[in-house]
Structure 1
Amino acid sequence: PDGRTALLDFGITGRLSPPRRRAFVRLLVAGTMNDVTGQLAALRDLGALPPDTDLDAVARDLGLFDQVVDPTTLTPDELVAELQRVLKALLGYGARLPRELMLFVKNMVFLDGAIARLAPDLDLFAEIAHVAAHFATTHGERLAAEIGMDPTAWRFEPDAVRAAFGVDETVESMTYRELQERREVIRRRLRAARR
């Protein structure tokens, strides 16, 4: 009646222990702040990396402090080489994908399909900024206390979102349709590299 859409998924569910919940919240908050080391620490605390992992070394080896590389600008061979380099580095550090992160990815795939059908022209950058601002405004103090962060320290960093999409600061918006076009370019290049 009020125009809102609800997405219900009765598939796989899980429960986060309090330490893993804090780590997951830290991962999301750090992701909106462009805090690479904070994201890696949260991934470690979620079990994606061993407890004794040198997070600065991981960030350096993965090039996380480097200039963003737009994957759609890479040749097929460069794209495959970059994927192989990153996977080799991650496996070398003992990285794995814990169940909690798999459930999150599953939900992102579910949301991806819903956006594709219901809102292909949605500006993803603006929507992420809106959701982050909503959580900061509505739940910020409680979440900050839960993860041990000064609530006034949170600053949304649009460049962090752009980097996650593989684009630089010159790209001001991206619709879901544009994201799909980028994905198709990458798929074609990966297929070309297999030939």
Structure 2
Amino acid sequence: MARTTGSRADVTGPLIRDKARRLFARQGYAAVSMRQIAAAVGVQAGALYAYTPDKQALLADLLESHMHDLLGAWSDDPDADPLARLERFVRFHIGFSLDHGDAVFLSYMELRNLTPDNFARIAALRGRYEAALEQILRDGITARVMRIEDPKLTTLALIAMLTGVTNWYRDGGRLDRTRIAQIYWGLARGAVGA
């Protein structure tokens, strides 16, 4: 019998993804076996293959889903003031990152474990997100409200800075999310010479 008695496909599939995401984030992709994922879910290892062809496909699916969620949640108003758009991006990115800490961690730390084809697919999605911020910066240069030497490099630096909050933030810590977003907005504003 492949499934634990009483398990259901509509529950087991999402549970596999959730447990795999958590295990990969805590222990690293290379250190986690399909048997560990199965044990965390409460199914036999062979049952996982009804939901994913292999561990690589599971990782790629987790990273791709995260990027689709991120891109789906972000929206921009190209007619708005570039500084207001940048502030909105900063606050959005911090909030989304803190709400999806394990997924964000995987997106940055486990790219190296993707096959070339999977890497290309995820990199293309990441490129779309980066391009959204880069466009805001280019619009800020055009509007003369930002002084940036290299918009692409500034884009990558800002995203790295903003994403770094997931490495140290803890609920109930010294600073709440609102205050952290305010401080990061000040840092981002300084980084673009505004």
TM over 0.5: no
Higher relative contact order, chain-length normalized (CA < 8 Å, sep 6+): 1
Larger radius of gyration: 2
| TM-score bracket for the superposition, by shorter chain length | under 0.3
Name the one with the larger helix percent: 2
